Structure 1
Amino acid sequence: MKYLFYAVAALVLFASPAASAPIAGLFGELWDQNNTFERRFIGEVEAFVNDPANTPDATFRSTEVNYPRGMVAQNPIVVPFDDFLGDDSDSLSVVSGPTFEPGNDFIMRLSGFITLDAGLHTFAARVDDGMLLKIDGQEIFRLRVDGSDVTSYSNLIMTTVALDGGRMPIELIYFDNAAANFGVRVDVDGKPIGGDMISTGRTSVVPLPASAWLLITGLLGLASFRRSRVS
């Protein structure tokens, strides 16, 4: 019985810490408006994505908030999302419809967590057409509110805010509406939001290492052998 106890303890020791691992990046959602976009301002877009009835057309994992690939001098534009997302297109999963190649009317939402030190942080954004960025419930950017704050990817918008720091929820809502150029990039303290500073808040199952199974099997074998000798 002593060996059986050791086997169970080993299983707990090996399996518990490795049962799941946080998924890096941000959870991305996409809505293709199929050139029928009726929401021209960020408040309308925010209401749309927060309506449970409006499920996304596709999801993906964002490794960095840096998507300038819509910057082309032509109109109308049709850019497949695997081009727009770049390397992040490897994680693109289409939820509805056999294909997903939007024109220039679409919405993107990124959500998860960001880890920053407490104190002042400088954010810089390039966006066309509109964007809402919240960190820890605090609005960092709200762009394209009523048409008076028309944005362009070529214009850099900056702000400095104080944050409590630590692991904080982050949400970014971006949209493009009938324009020749589109894209979005957000930097914090001089570098794009991405890398180790962000996580989806979701976890993936990590298989138990083969060495752990060998150890557990060996201990169980010893326990069985000991019982057979005693009997």
Structure 2
Amino acid sequence: MNVSFLRNFLCSGALLSSAAFAPVASANIYITEWMYNGTGETGEYIEFTNTGTSAIDFTGWSFDDDSRNAGTVSLSAFGLVNPGESVILTEADAASFRSVWNLSASVDVIGNNTTNLGRADEINLYDAGGNLVDRLTYGDSTIPGSIRAQNISGNPLNLSVLGANNALGWIFASVGDAYGSYVDLNNVDVGNPGSFAPVPLPAAAWLLLSGVAGLAGIRRRRA
């Protein structure tokens, strides 16, 4: 991760609450990006990210839209999702999706999802026990002021939005933004699937990074 970006992201009081870097639970899996309608090989997609400190086994986990039925779409194929790892569920063919977004084979993609998202819909993530892990209810036509993630993906305005089910807390991706967004190879859709740049570092890593930054500052002053 780019240290300069991380430092700027953290220093913005408007973006992060003081609780953002509290120790996180190992099962912190969140919806971190979505596009309800893409073009051609892009298709619609949803990104889930493990922001915790331990790998999570997705065996038995599932997705559904506004019918809210656990088990509708199996996510078991993701297997173990490591800390900081993002995975993708898409209506497109998995290989085509990777190709059009120039993603490596290391990015887990489940393709050919037929439980499609609408302009106003829900994204529901369930664990192996059928418990709701995260939900995002969205729709610019039903929630005035919220975005319409058509051909441009939606990203959280800040980390406090994750898990809050707040449609107003999401913003459009833009080329070169803090999330590393770019235009797909078809030169149509804009997004950043497969990675979530501002994943919180574990407390120990954050302390180490802070210490390194502090030492660098001392050296500059001495120079």
TM-score w.r.t. length of structure 1:
0.25
Larger radius of gyration: 1
Q: Which has the higher strand share?
A: 1
TM-score w.r.t. length of structure 2:
0.26
Q: Which has the higher contact order (CA 8 A, sep 6+)?
A: 1
